[in-house]
Structures are given as C-alpha cells and as structure tokens.
Amino acid sequence: MNDDPGSTARAIEFWFDFGSNYSYLSMMRIEALAAARNVKIVWRPFLLGPVFRQLGFENSPFVLQKEKGAYVWKDMERQCGKYGIALTRPSTFPRAALLAMRVAVLGANEPWIGDWCRKIMQLNFVDDREIGSIDVVRDALDSLGLPAQNLIDAAQSDANKLSLREQTEQAVNKGIFGAPTFFVGGEMFWGNDRLEDALDYCDAIAARQ
C-alpha cells in the first residue's frame, strides 16, 4: 500500500463510528479493496452522536424512525450475505464505544489500526459484546498482543480526548451527516455502497495526473 503522506491521489479518508452498522460493512471490506488499488487509508474515527445532535436528532434515525429501523436490519442481513460477512443484530443499538474510539484515534497512524477497528466491529456486530466497557477494550487489546493498560492510559489522556472531540468537530465542519463517509481529495462519498465509487475516484484522479 502507498504510505507516502504527501500522496492525495492515492488516499481515501475513512470516517467511521464503531456504533454504525453500515460502517461495519465498510470496515470489513476497505483494507482489501484499498490494497488491491494501492490506495492509502487515512483512518478518521469520529463520534456520530454529536453530529446527529447538530442535525436535530437525539438518537440514530434508525431508532427514531421505526419503519426505517426495521428496513435497515433486513438490509444488513442482505448486505452481509452478499459480502460473506457475519452478523448478529446487537442487543443494544447504537452501542456507545467511547473508549474504543479513543484508542482508534490514538492508533490512527499505527500499523495495528486496521486490526483494532475490525476487532471492535466484530465484537459489536458478531459477538454482541459491550464495546463501551473497559474490560472488553482491555481484552480486545490483549487479544491483538498490544500493551493494553499503556494504550488505555494514553487513550484516556486529556490530549487524546481532545483529539477525538476536535476530529468530531472537523466532521461537522466538513458537512458529514452519517457514517461511513469517505473523502478523496475534496470529494465526499457517503455510505457503504459508495466505497467502490470513492476508490474509482482515486483511480480517476491518478489517471489525470
């Protein structure tokens, strides 16, 4: 994968929240798809809750709108079947994952970020675990062979907490209204079903250069 931080033509920003069901679909697919096209992933964890509140929603629209919520889980069953991805509907939705998100911010530029994000998504959408729990976060870090307590302490630092808040504010300022959202250069693509379109756009930009 292209690791040149100066390359914008071959990079995709991936904005996600661990509580987002459609982010789960993209999370389980994006690394292989990006690697096949030599596209760098720029990991952008952010909190959907503040974004929804900015839009006047106190909860996920999938919860507030009963008919939409019923449709979404049927759609998730179809999409997971299409991609060969396991799914267990979480007993709590959307599930808070503040500490896990803080760990993601801390590790956004580390080689383990993809493994971490997929692990947390699987714990939420396959194992139905409480990913907001410090014990679940610690176990997940241990399972990846990472220094759990050191990373939890660093994730809980004031500076890292501020980084997540600032990234969430940046999401609002960029006009993000849901997850997953992808940016290629200044072009925004929203939703799991636009992941391939965003990667196609990476190719189009590269072809013009």
So which residues are the catalytic ones?
A: 20
Strand ranges (E), the chain: 11-16, 40-45, 181-184, 187-190
Phi, psi of 201 (to 5 degrees): -65, -35
Of the candidates 79, 69, 3, which has an alpha carbon nearest to the alpha carbon of residue 39? Answer: 3
Residue among 117, 90, 125, 89 nearest 16 (CA) = 117
- Annotate 3-37 with b (16+ C-beta within 10 A) or e (fewer): eeeeebbbbbbbbbbbbbbbbbbbbbbbbebbeeb
Whole-number Å distance between alpha carbons of 30 and 209? 24
